[in-house]
A and B are shown apart, each in its own frame.
Chain A
């Protein structure tokens, strides 16, 4: 076994290689802009050079002279599109700012024209020759800019229903033996998935096919249909592979319906591949946040009071917020809790989900503050977490379905060598390098959503699994194939998986780490329907559970064993008894506690995630602990992070190979969120400055020397039939705090604003 394929522990599947591995290493995996189109025209976007104001006029003469230009679309001649509501308000859109509707400009980089030409080169040339006359108004860029407005999130954002609180925070804080008040800031960040925000649209009669990287093909299909004013059955979204999502492709952006409308008008397929810098403004991003944490504790470290106040930037048009207090108020035992989340409106594009949307910024604040409290108490930060560990969340007193937080701390601490740490700041060094160790907790809500699947089994064991799920790099193909192979007892290589197509049975948005639990639960259920039909044919009077295994030969054997065995005989008998060649079943699964309109919403592309802190009589989270070593050069102040160690417990691990990879990538994302990533905003113009991959820093290979992922065995029978907690977003939570905690240990300097640059270090 290579390091990439860890030996499975209890309640883990086999670390089989990815289902789509060969397609991906041979270039045969087809992403949105790889899809062949018949004689396409090429679109190139023109985006606004001001953040607020109006377009006086366009001068298109020069652009139109470019050979090969077919059309230039502006607000004066744009296709008529209906508005779409924000996803959190019953719609599909990630923004309600609809470009090309009027001469008004709402944010930097808003789409103001689309040039269509015979070639990409001509479209680009002409787009660069479009001259725009603006009347600019001074915009509000961010928190401290004049002209912003601030109001509580509760009441304006449909998905942020409550500021959690319990007990009497003010009294308990005032009377606490130890008090801590500290403020933290996190920066604007952009997902920058490798695949650009491309869209290809082709009409066949009145039917539209969209090739676009999407994390929610049913949402996009229904949203575009709504904007075009056509039946959703006339729209099909196809994306068998998505070149990274990280949340950026979860809700509809305005570009899709615009391109679809132009393709319809020109009666020709249109291919749009926006530039990298356009991706910063035509899609969403993680907005900057500010936090104040107040902790009151007794001398033995027990929390007696906790308050978390957060503020987040959004656009003028939309009340987007992540509201991470739902997690930070429930992570530790504490009888007196208060919280408040506010939204600050500025002249910006609307932000959106980015990997662990609430937890990355909000746990940075809380887990930094916990470290500061540990220092005040002269206590080991792991022990501080231990005395405040809890089986029930403090707000409603609901029990965690399972919680392996301290087991994760202990395993990670051992692997990391935490015992070798000398506690005093600036006490460890290696030549010119100050060494710091730091740690933090991570957690992420366990979420599920309704999902449907179709499973077809042939008498030779060949199996076809269909579900409109998404392969964004998570391993969705692989674990769906494993689930079906195990459940049906057929060899893994006989299972074919079809996802990424809105003509398949509806799957949920690939967001909120719900995909594995939801899609695998649906596929398990439908596989059981298949088994039931076969079993009933052979043993009409027996119950399925008692006899299925020995009679039909379909046990839940691990896929490697199943792959070795050839047991077609029993299958053939069953098919003979049934008198058919193929058994095909369709089924719709919904999680416990799903709202009554779940299945309707599933078909109409509205995500209805349940779980986490929102469950009725319990609370479900995955947990982990992350440890980092940082080295700070005492002369240059260069910061390096040679070691990242994370231990995670997330219920059933479907495939330790894909799980490890996701968590490893998550840890690196977490490091990046502390040391690299920030979108710089020009305060005067409210424009993004470093909108390219050379200036927006993301880690490269040389930045990542050592990452260790430890998967803990955990069983949870109270979450979903699969028993899986999502882990795609677990890995990159808390890492930013762990790094700042390590920098404090190395240098004695507490850094409360991200990202940490060498100029912020004052050794």
Chain B
């Protein structure tokens, strides 16, 4: 993206964006108050790049993005963090799941601009000094994947599932892990992995 201008922290304007998005299939935008600093409501082409700073795995990443870019495409196409996967782009499969703050979200249905200023954690941000996160280790130990494509989303979802307090019983784990499709059907092993990692994660 070469022809953008301006040194604003974000060229994105919520009101003009909402107007431009009217009638399209874009989801409503949960913009933050900080992004609403007064700017002239000039109609803008959504393809014109907008400056945005995303905080990913503890690091600020300055980007210039098409306003329609999702968190998933920002990670994959602009930050080369390809661990998060595109399986449907419709929020139906969970392969793109990341944590925003403590919440698990489908990054394919979250606009990058809406995530500005929030802490995004992806699969690449879990292991520290080459030591696997307990949930990653549990997935290895319990063979909780086959092709591995849904795995980053499963692991991010599983961490949130535990922290939400939804890993108390097998039935709970099954229910609260049902937003993540595994076509290879490693489901029983995923349940075993979540059970194994849960105590470690709750200990912190």
- Chain A contacts to B: CB under 8 angstroms: 2-5, 17-18, 20-31, 33-34, 36, 66-68, 118-122, 125, 192-196, 241-246, 273, 275-276, 471-475, 657-658, 660-662, 664-665, 668-669, 672, 692-694, 698-707
Contacts and interface: CB of A to CB of B under 8 A. Distances in A.
Nearest to A29: B148
Contacts, number: 209
Of the listed residues A31, A692, A699, A701, the one surrounded by the most CB atoms of chain B closer than 10 A to its CB is A701
A228 to B, nearest CB: 27
Decide if the interface of chain B is mainly helix, strand, loop or mixed.
loop
Nearest to A241: B148
Contacts of B150: 194
Given A26-B123, A665-B184, A276 B88 contact: yes
A288 B112 CA distance: 42
Given A26-B136, A27-B83, A664 B47 contact: no
B67 to A, nearest CB: 8
Contacts of A474: 146
Given A693-B93, A701-B191, A122 B66 contact: yes
B32 interface: no
B134 to A, nearest CB: 11
B152 A27 contact: yes
5 contacts: A25-B145, A67-B45, A120-B73, A661-B184, A692-B90
B66 A692 contact: no
Given A22-B132, A704-B174, A195 B140 contact: no
Interface string B124-158: 10110000100011011111111111111001000
Given A27-B83, A699-B185, 10 more contacts: A25-B152, A27-B82, A119-B66, A119-B77, A194-B95, A195-B147, A196-B86, A276-B89, A475-B146, A657-B143
B69 interface: yes
A282 to B, nearest CB: 15
Given A5-B143, A273-B86, A244 B184 contact: yes
Q: Which 7 A-B pairs have the closest CB atoms?
A: A27-B83, A243-B149, A473-B147, A473-B146, A24-B148, A34-B82, A668-B185
A276 B187 contact: no
A25 B92 contact: no
A707 B188 contact: yes
Given A4-B142, A125-B47, A194-B147, A699 B124 contact: no
A661 B192 contact: no
Decide if the interface of chain A is mainly helix, strand, loop or mixed.
loop
B82 A196 contact: no
B53 interface: no
A478 B181 CA distance: 24
A30 B151 contact: no
B162 to A, nearest CB: 14
Nearest to A665: B185
Contacts of A34: 76, 82
Nearest to B48: A67
A4 B145 CA distance: 11
Contacts of B181: 194, 693, 698, 700
Interface in B102-125: 122-124
A665 B186 contact: yes
A44 to B, nearest CB: 12
Contacts of A194: 85, 87, 93, 95, 147, 149-150, 181-184
B19 to A, nearest CB: 17
B183 A244 contact: yes
Nearest to B3: A67
Of the listed residues B151, B173, B184, the one surrounded by the most CB atoms of chain A closer than 10 A to its CB is B184
B190 to A, nearest CB: 6
A471 B149 CA distance: 12
B66 to A, nearest CB: 4
Contact of B186 (A28, A68, A661, A705): A661
Contacts of B81: 27
Nearest to B88: A276
A34 B137 CA distance: 23
B175 A704 contact: no
